[in-house]
Homo-oligomer: A and B are copies of this chain.
């Protein structure tokens, strides 16, 4: 249906073949609903094992905005807000889903999509030093995305610094892992699932953009921090009747470490494309080691590119140039990459 090369986003295809196969195999099985089935339980256990956190609660939801909205509402008290990058997905592109549950998104400046523990600490110090802070929204957690919306990565040391700030102020740390597989497959990344389980109060392992048809797996290392999470999910309209569909997908993603490797082709393709772009004299906007590439294009050249390649408009650069985003994914093939490079 679409004959152009597609580098517009990382959710344009269906599922990894292994996942599809498992859905086919299990189709006529009759199981309990709402994720209470055995496959979902198996998936939970595999995720617990991959996180080296046997006691974690694991729940499956259908999408990223939904997961953020549910988990932020689950972790915060009704009067608290969440600190996030001004470019964070929850700050900009969730149509106010966080505020719809009554929570203000408290923004701090970003650098290429990342925020710093120092800036967050300053924000919190300023808040508590302000004589009127009881008239202001109390920060109750920090939201990070890893990789960030700009494809950049936090280091383990940076996450540890966030953990220390959060501990100092008694607030939660939550990581949005919508594209986590692309971090895990990236040589520059030193943050493993085990680290997230140790450092975060909750995080989610993205499926939708990482090989699943849909679905995100929430991990709560210390379940007592969120009692009644099942009911909270239901209250938000986020409980899937045939919950096993999520279980099946994550059971496959965590069978034989598939999730650790599934991002590999995307990282390889992105590296090849970035190398080609540099060689051809294009300007990359900033270093972004995962599956998203941000490049400055001359407007006339972009028009020609657009006839053969689907890309995302990112922002205007100047009157003659535009920043575009090219995204690879788990299913990007070498021939697609070569075809793109030849066009560039």
Interface residues, chain A, CB within 8 Å of chain B?
A: 1-2, 6, 9, 11-15, 17, 20, 23-24, 26-33, 37-38, 62-70, 73, 77-79, 81, 92-97, 99-105, 131-132, 134-138, 208-209, 213-214, 228, 230-232, 234-242, 245, 310, 313, 331
Assuming the A-B contacts A14-B29, A30-B2, A208-B242, are A136 and B95 also in contact, with contact meaning beta carbons closer than 8 angstroms in the complex? yes
Whether A103 contacts B94 by the Cβ 8 Å rule is: no
- A26–B65 alpha-carbon span in the complex (Å): 25
A63: B residues at CB distance < 8 A: 237, 239-241
Can you pick out 19 interface pairs between chain A and chain B where the beta carbons lie within 8 Å of each other? Answer: A1-B31, A12-B31, A13-B27, A13-B29, A23-B213, A24-B24, A63-B240, A78-B100, A79-B96, A92-B136, A94-B235, A95-B234, A95-B235, A99-B137, A100-B101, A100-B102, A135-B234, A208-B241, A209-B241
Closest 5 CB pairs of A and B: A66-B237, A14-B27, A95-B234, A12-B30, A96-B137
A28: B residues at CB distance < 8 A: 13-14, 331
Assuming the A-B contacts A78-B78, A135-B94, A236-B100, are A14 and B62 also in contact, with contact meaning beta carbons closer than 8 angstroms in the complex? no
Please name 15 further chain A to chain B contacts, defined as beta carbons within 8 Å, in addition to the given A14-B23, A78-B100, A81-B96, sorted by A numbering.
Answer: A1-B29, A2-B29, A11-B241, A12-B32, A17-B27, A20-B23, A20-B27, A62-B240, A65-B237, A79-B228, A97-B236, A104-B105, A134-B230, A213-B245, A214-B242
